[in-house]
Structures are given as C-alpha cells and as structure tokens.
Structure 1
Amino acid sequence: MWFSRVQDCLALERGQRQPTFVLVANKMDLQYQTTLERQTVEKFSQRNGLPTHFVSAKTGEGVQRCFLGIACAVLGVHVRVRDHERTQPVLQASLVTNQFTIRASKPRDNKQNVPCEHTGSVCQLL
C-alpha cells in the first residue's frame, strides 16, 4: 500500500503524472461583503480547466462536498450531482407564526384607528 503511494510521488516528481489543481473559494458565509463576484471565479476556473468549490470554513458549508470532489478528481472517478447532494447535511427549519396588530389610521379628519390583525410566518434555520 505505501509502496504504491511512493510510486505515485515518484511519478509526479519525474513528470510522468500531472498534479491535480483545484480552486477552493473560502469565506462563502461572507459573500455579501466580498468584492469578487462568484461569476468571476467561475469564469476563471472554466478558462483554466479547474474544478471549483465554494466553501465556508466557519459554517462548514460545502467543505465535505469539496473534499469529496478533490478525492474524485485525484482518483479519476465521476460522481453524479445527486450523489454529491446526498453528502450535504439537511438544514432543519422551524416555522414560527406570530400574531401582531397593525393600527392603520383613517384620513386626518377622522382620527380613529382601525385595528386589523395580520398573521405572519417566519422561517428560522436551526
């Protein structure tokens, strides 16, 4: 087993095998603050033939998929998109329903407030 790894390293050293390059874009949890647009990164990687992964080390988003993609690229294995998607954790969300009252004013000559009730829903990711 270790023997084949050494042979692979020697093949790289001798130029018989090309190293695998992958572009990993980190800080996706801060993408709203970045000056570099996702499309720019994707165009760059397409022009240079690089597999690209967008990840957030802070939240862990995309990290497992990135490592799986790198392993597949190194081994020359093609993995279907749906198989990649199975590796992603399922986000759990709860639906919170709040009751609140909105006071709407009638025209200025009639200064009564008209109560009306509105129910709102908010989705919270856990």
Structure 2
Amino acid sequence: MLQFKLVLLGDSSVGKSSIVNRFVKDSFDEFRESTIGAAFLSQTVTIKDDDQDVTVKFEIWDTAGQERYKSLAPMYYRNSNAALVVYDITQADSLEKAQSWVHELKNKVDDNNLVIYLVGNKVDLTKDDEEKRVVDRDVAEKYAQENGLLFNEVSAKTGEGIQQIFQTIGENLYEVRKKENTTNNSNMANRAHGQVDIQLPRPSTNDSTSCCS
C-alpha cells in the first residue's frame, strides 16, 4: 500500500467538505456546517499497473475556508503530495480565490512533484438553468493548462466526477513514485558498480607534492 497526504483548499462554502464526504462516505448533507480549523479523513483507491492492483491510501486534510483560519493552512498543506483546490462555478470571485491558493502552493511548497487538481464544484445547479453558471469552464480549464494543473468540474451533491478526481490523483502520484523509485534504483546500481560521480580537486601548482611543481 502506498500512502499520500492530500489537502483541500478553497473559499468557504465552495463544497470542499461535501466533496470529501462524497468520496469517503458516498453521502451528501445539504445543511453541512462549515469546517472549523480542519478535518481529517482517509480513503483508498485502487490503481491498475499491468497485471497487479496497487492500493493508494489518501490521508486527507479538509481545511476551513473562512478567512480567520487561512493562517493555519500552511500547517496542513506542508509536506502534502497532492492538493485539491476547489471553487464554486456559481460564484463570481470563487475562481480568483482558488487561483490565489494555487499561487501560494507553488510558492511555498518546495516540491516539484506536488499534484494540484483544480475543481469546479456544483455543476448540478446549472443542469436545469445554465444562467446560474458564473465561471466559464473554458476560462478555468485554460488557466489549469497554463499552470500545469489537473482540472475537472464536479457535483458533490450528485457524485458526478468525484471518484474520477481521486482516481486520477492516485494514478499521477503512483507514476511520480515509480519514477522516484526508478531513479533511486539506478543510482544504487551505479554505486554498486563503482560508477560514483565524485569531483576530485585538481592538484595545485603551488603544492610541493604536486606533479607539476
């Protein structure tokens, strides 16, 4: 089993907790109260690799979106392997706030392998009335592509797209881990065969023991 830390970030009321609970418990609470500080949950997905199944376990930190808790966020996203940055497609400034979280992650998390997934929630609200959509999908998707993010729109209420998000994150993290293991094994093999890259100092022409003195 592989284990990874995943954090959820986003403004208050975008549906972070609802997304996690749909994934972990396959449930939805219309009147869920706002998260205070952070909540911890865990769940697994199964990755197919050739003829074997690999279990990936997520340790999930669901952070509070209220401004007064924002200063606590670094404590939760530090050392994360993946981040789910959520916005509400029916709220005008929601994507901008999500973008600020992406900017913060890219500047403060020292890990080039961090998997960031931008998620637009509440697509169920636009099924019967497209006018409720405020954030255009193409705008968010273009932003994600330009910044190297994964992207999708989902509904925590109906479950649409939720499982696919975590499955995709798991697959990406698994590929990162495989590459890391391949690199480490290659370095160990080189050392075993005496192929160690050591930079030796060149002899000084001022040294009496030098061949060039």
How high is the TM-score relative to the length of structure 1? 0.47
Higher relative contact order (CA 8 A, sep 6+): 2
* Structure with greater Cα Rg: 1
